[in-house]
Amino acid sequence: MNEAVKQDILSLLDSVIGILASEEETDLVELEELSNRIIHSASIFQDEDSVSIALLIYSLYKVIARGAEKGKIYSQINSMLKQARAALESNQFEIFRKKIKNIFDILARIDRKVSIYFQELLEKARLKKGSKIYEHGISIARVAQIMGISQWELMSYVGQTEIPEYGIKDAGGRLQLARKLFSK
């Protein structure tokens, strides 16, 4: 694992542990922002650990947003997060990955409603985070490979979103840019 990625993940895990310990509602938004932050690393280094952590943080955000009891999540996941962090810090990458997988399993079992929709949630999270990586200029094929989804699913999702190309959102602006690029 790249040292920069490792340090970024350690920092994120510290933040998540702090957020889960807090009682403030604004922390919910911070979880989503943290998952977007790690996507930047995932797009640069194209590693599965960054993607996994982004999905984990986003899943935590969604589970809490859907009304799962925050205290229950904290009590079940806090020690696992700390163990995962300790394993990563001591370069025990397989143990780190196993702990992260165990946290996903815990999230799926938190309550019946969440469990029913958890697989769908993970698929949507993969698509959403995949589109964020695609925004960083990584090809659809590579993003699909990193996220473990099909190119068709990702292309369909990206086609339905408004991902600005060169900061231009309207069709007229994109057409003008295309003419400018091909007129040279």
Residue 138: per-residue pLDDT: 81
- Six-digit token pair at 70? 């925050």
Residue 85: per-residue pLDDT: 94
Span 32-68, pLDDT tens digits: 788 777 766 666 666 778 878 887 887 888 777 776 6
Residue 23: per-residue pLDDT: 62
Does the pLDDT at position 9 exceed 60?
yes
Residue 63: per-residue pLDDT: 76
What distance in Å separates the CA atoms of residue 178 and residue 176, rounded to the nearest whole number? 5
Does residue 184 sit in helix, strand or coil?
coil
Q: Determine the residue type at 179.
A: R
Span 121-149, pLDDT tens digits: 667 777 887 888 887 778 888 888 888 88
Does the pLDDT at position 84 exceed 90?
yes
The mean per-residue pLDDT over the stretch 162-166 comes to 54
Span 97-126, pLDDT tens digits: 999 989 888 877 775 655 555 566 667 777
By percentage, how much of the chain surpasses pLDDT 70? 74
What distance in Å separates the CA atoms of residue 176 and residue 184, rounded to the nearest whole number? 13
